[in-house]
Amino acid sequence: MTARKGAVTVEYKKHVIDRILPGSIAEELGILPGDRLVAVGESPIEDVLDYHYLIHDEYLTLLIEKQDGEEWEFEIEKDYDEDIGIVFENGLMDDYKSCTNRCIFCFIDQMPKGMRETLYFKDDDSRLSFLQGNYVTLTNMKEKDIERIIAYRLGPINISVQTTNPTLRCQMLNNRFAGEALKKIDRLYEAGIEMNGQIVLCKGVNDGQELERSIRDLTKYLPYMESVSVVPVGLSKFREGLYPLSPFTAEDAKQVLSLVHRWQDTCMERHGTHFVHASDEWYLMAGRSLPEEDNYDGYIQLENGVGMMRLLLDEFHEALAKVTQERERVSARPMENGKSDKPAGDGAPPYEKTHLVSVATGRLAAPFIRRLAAECMEQFPTYEIQVFEIRNDFFGESITVSGLLTGQDIVAQLKGERLGERLLLPCNLLRSGEEVFLDDMTLGELKMALQVEVDIVKSSGQDLLACMLGLETR
């Protein structure tokens, strides 16, 4: 790797570097936070897609503008897929594209006033689909965007389909171009770009025969459309002036599952994949058992709430079996000189003491978490694990998922309760990377209000068990 000072005659867009990853190529070269990336080779960088595509090479040059305005060109030899180690101030390296639709099911339109500004931003950016797994409607995607996706072989692209009925799609998205935008799926399919689809199901709108039609139409995009998820619409109490939608009942959920399972059988027989998946909410709503792991085709839509509970259950059982075996192994150690080699007093394993632990979660998952708590207490009788089902007063009782609970609802409903030595909360309650709830209450404020230690449980079953038992290693 060599560097030389130079000058640029073409005015390129410059991207401010926020930080450099330790041990990276960029650190070795002496690139610093505050420096600006000007170009990779002879190519200007419009956004993060250009950057990711252009740095995937064994030989490349970077043009960097230092903080004093001097320009340096770095020649780099590396492995093809090796990252340079630069994190930019703007993750997209460009402005975010906002959504121009007015979807009848949009949750942002159902938010009360006065919350932090970022919660009201509607994104519909295909770059976030590739980078973060966000779902896009395709209505905001121009021909240039499609061409870049195809040229760069980006994927998977996650698409909010909702319905394959063009007329109905225009009505659901309140966008007269929404039906025409479906043709972009054909372009991606013909180019062999990997895709995933999502259908937000609205009662009496795109369910029943319309759902049947949508699934049938989407199967023609196999194998490049790898999966389609069906998720129920979320309805808050702030829907005044919005399209009238009704919540699904347990009987509705059973009908949706029947239709989905029938198509899973068909797709497995014809294509060797289940293809279409119902989110966990449908099973919990219907009171039905979760499918086995094989049904989820490798948990391809895990982040969309498809298979999260099954994976949590299996991971929890695996972890519980290991911890139980370890306890039995320690208990079975022979005594030397009539003395046990097990730690005593404060050094004893936590499961040999008496404990009271509390868990708070949404109403939908509470019965499921109670089941896991009961299994843990059966193996470890010195533990009392109580599960609190938190009602969503902030958005309304029809919102039952844990990810939309607020700090104020948790405090109001747990204040005065005997919570024990610690309270467990799922990590999806907090803003990504921060200790802040949806309503801007901080984790510290919640701890102070409830006077209890709080453990944030990651998404794995192993971490849930470790938090329940108070184990050091997670």
- pLDDT tens, position by position, 194-248: 999 999 999 999 999 999 999 999 999 999 999 999 999 999 999 989 999 999 9
DSSP labels for 146-158? HHHHHHHT--PEE
pLDDT of residue 8: 43
- The predicted model gives 301-322 an average pLDDT of 94
Query: Which residue is listed with tokens 């069906």?
Result: 230
Report the alpha-carbon distance of residue 296 to residue 227 in Å, rounded: 10
426's tokens: 């799922």
Q: Give the residue, 271 or 13, on which the prediction is more confident.
A: 271
pLDDT grade, residue 120 (50/70/90)?
A: low
Question: 366-379 vs 461-469: helix axis angle to the nearest 10?
Answer: 60
Strands 86-88 and 15-20: antiparallel
Q: Strand, coil or helix: what is 390?
A: strand
Above 90 in pLDDT, residue 418?
yes
The most confident of the ranges 46-60, 129-143, 381-395 is: 381-395
Mean pLDDT of all residues belonging to the chain: 87
**Confidence at residue 312, expressed as pLDDT on a 0 to 100 scale:** 94
From 112-116, 338-342, 378-382, 438-442, the region with the lowest mean pLDDT: 338-342
Q: Which two tokens stand for residue 332?
A: 């079975």
pTM for the full model? 0.82
Query: Is-contact 51 82, C-beta < 8 A?
Result: no
Angle 341-346-347 (CA atoms, 0-180°, nearest 5)? 35
User: Domains (ranges, CATH) in the chain?
Assistant: 2-88 (2.30.42.10), 108-301 (3.80.30.10), 310-331+347-469 (3.40.50)
Q: How far apart are CA 44 and CA 38, in angstroms?
A: 7
What is the DSSP track for 321-385? Answer: HHHHHHHHHHHTPPPBTTB--S--GGGS-GGGS-EEEEEEEETTTHHHHHHHHHHHHHH-TTEEE
Residue-wise pLDDT tens digits, 252-290: 999 999 999 999 999 999 999 999 999 999 999 999 999
Give residue 257's pLDDT: 98
If we measure between CA atoms, which residue out of 121, 85, 125, 116 comes closest to residue 106?
Answer: 121
Quick check: 227 and 219 in contact, CB under 8 A?
no
Average pLDDT over residues 307-324: 94
pLDDT class of 98 with cuts at 50, 70, 90: low
pLDDT of residue 124: 58
Least confident segment among 43-47, 184-188, 379-383: 43-47
pLDDT over 70 percentage in the chain = 87
Omega before 156 within 30 of 0, i.e. cis: yes
User: 41: how many CB neighbours lie within 10 A of its CB?
Assistant: 14
57: confidence class by pLDDT, cuts 50, 70, 90:
confident
CA–CA dist 59, 354 (Å, integer): 61
At 344, the pLDDT band (50, 70, 90 cuts) reads very low
pLDDT band (50, 70, 90) for residue 188: very high
What pLDDT score was predicted for residue 3?
Answer: 41
**Mean of pLDDT values over 385-398:** 95
Phi, psi angle pair for 43, to nearest 5°: -100, 130
Reported confidence tier of residue 362, pLDDT bands at 50, 70, 90: very high
Distance CA 427, CA 463 (A): 11
